[in-house]
Amino acid sequence: MKNLIQKYNIPGPRYTSYPTVPFWDKDGIAQQDWERTVKKSFDESNEIEGISLYIHLPFCESLCTFCACHKKITKRHEVEEPYLETVLKEWDLYCDLLVERPKIREIHLGGGTPTYFSSENLKKLINGIFKRADKFETFDFSYEGHPNHTTEEQLQTLYDLGSRRNSFGIQDYDPIVQKAIHRIQSFEQVKRVNDLSRKIGYESISHDLIFGLPFQTEESIRNTIKNTIALKPDRIAYYSYAHVPWIKGVGQRGFDENDLPKDSEKRHLYELGKQLFFDNGYVEIGMDHFALPSDSLHKAMESRKLHRNFMGYTAGKTELMIGLGMSSISDSWYAFAQNEKTIEDYTEKVNQGIIPIFRGHLLTETDLIIRKHILNLMCNLETEWKIGLDSEVKNEIVNRLQEIIDDGLIEVSSTKITVKEEGRMFVRNICMAFDLRLLENRPETRVFSMTI
């Protein structure tokens, strides 16, 4: 296995979308094309399945050096209200476009640090969204919280607004690792928000951990997972650290690359964590995720309704996901669009009455077919050939997969491809064989993290 890890540990996409962002059309997407696909998707699906909202709340009080998200570091909380006013103005622009009242099936607050915002302002945000929308018959409202900056009042307010699921960024409990990544929080602080969530009535609590961080060792990972298991979260995301300082600059240069676990050493930390999760009743979900059998994410996997998008794995799919806030990415199924990346540019466009996208991609028929295959592989670890590929393209994909077949990582039949259990860790490499955009436009410079 060590040789296979060295062989396949290459730069590659994480496939939260297809095409992946670096291969979106260089000319972007015309505003009218984006609005047309949003309206088309809404008309097709609003009554049947509802829509999803992702709301990006970008502020943090301090910089975590592992983070690759778009954020704004400030302790000046007077920025809250103007930003939320702009987000609600953007929502009004979409509601004006859609005409009919949206039925919202999912809301996720991401960041940044959503719990940077006061309870009062979080209430204004969600109530403002529902002035022009209704809840779908099944409604899932989740948010991310920082254990150091989440109060009982915030937890209760968000619960009262309809949230039954939250997620806390833990990353690692080791003091040396915490210092290196500038994310210092104690087990007691995490236990406090975890226990308060249980007391209030949250049905699903998720903890995010990262392997491959600087100075991590087998001992530190064992201790981190021991502490995590003690709190028994319903879901655990166990992410591979994506070291991309060439993209994110100074934030990810807070430590030397020599401080990072390498290749098989890093993968050992994952396999160790995975076994500890298994030993405590968790089930592996797709890539990097684990859940208790009682959690909706596991139930979605069992019923083959698991979905993957820019937020990671979700227990359900809506055709239309609207991203609100600076840098948010929206998905109309037929197209992707990303909002302006700075608060200033984002605010300026919204105040001009323009949906504030700055780039995007209108999917071709071929894109849509490949997208379905990659989603199937990422969510179900298999895909069927009957999904739209002609025999020539199919044969080319099989040829590109030949080494992976020879290494015993997948099974290929006349009807489908199935990823074996020993091939699960290489699922990104398997998807790359389908990625026509990547094959046609190999980047001249490194843009992706390592696949393993």
- Retrieve residue 182's tokens: 């500038």
Q: Which residues pair with 283 in a beta bridge?
A: 291
CA 442, chain centre distance (Å): 24
- Segment 312-338 shows an average pLDDT of 95
Contact 385, 414 (CB under 8 A): yes
- Retrieve residue 156's tokens: 């209760």
Exposure on the CB side of residue 193, measured as CA atoms within 13 A? 27
Residues in the annotated binding site for S-adenosyl-L-methionine: 54, 66-68, 111-113, 144, 171, 183, 208, 242, 329
Residues in the annotated binding site for [4Fe-4S] cluster: 60, 64, 67
Q: Which residues pair with 56 in a beta bridge?
A: 110
- Provide the mean pLDDT of the chain: 92
Reply yes or no on whether the pLDDT at 153 is more than 50: yes
Residue 2: pLDDT band (50, 70, 90) is low
DSSP SS3 for 239: strand
Q: What are 235-275's pLDDT values in tens digits?
A: 999 998 876 654 444 454 557 778 888 877 888 999 999 99
Maximum Cα–Cα distance for the chain, whole Å? 61
Residues in the annotated binding site: 54, 60, 64, 66-68, 111-113, 144, 171, 183, 208, 242, 329
**Domains annotated on the chain, with CATH:** 13-362 (3.80.30.20), 365-440 (1.10.10.920)
What's phi and psi for 244, nearest 5 deg?
Answer: -130, 60
Query: Between the ranges 266-270, 390-394, 401-405, where is the mean pLDDT highest?
Result: 401-405
Q: What are 76-112's pLDDT values in tens digits?
A: 999 999 999 999 999 999 999 998 999 999 999 999 9
Percent residues over pLDDT 90 in the chain: 79
- Around Cβ 338, how many Cβ atoms within 10 Å? 23
E runs forming strands in 157-221: 165-171, 204-211
In whole angstroms, give the CA distance from residue 311 to residue 54. 8
CA-CA-CA-CA dihedral for 103, 108, 111, 116, to nearest 10: 90
Say if pTM beats, i.e. exceeds, 0.85: yes
DSSP SS3 for 155: helix
Q: Among 275, 326, 257, 298, which Cα is nearest to 71's? A: 326
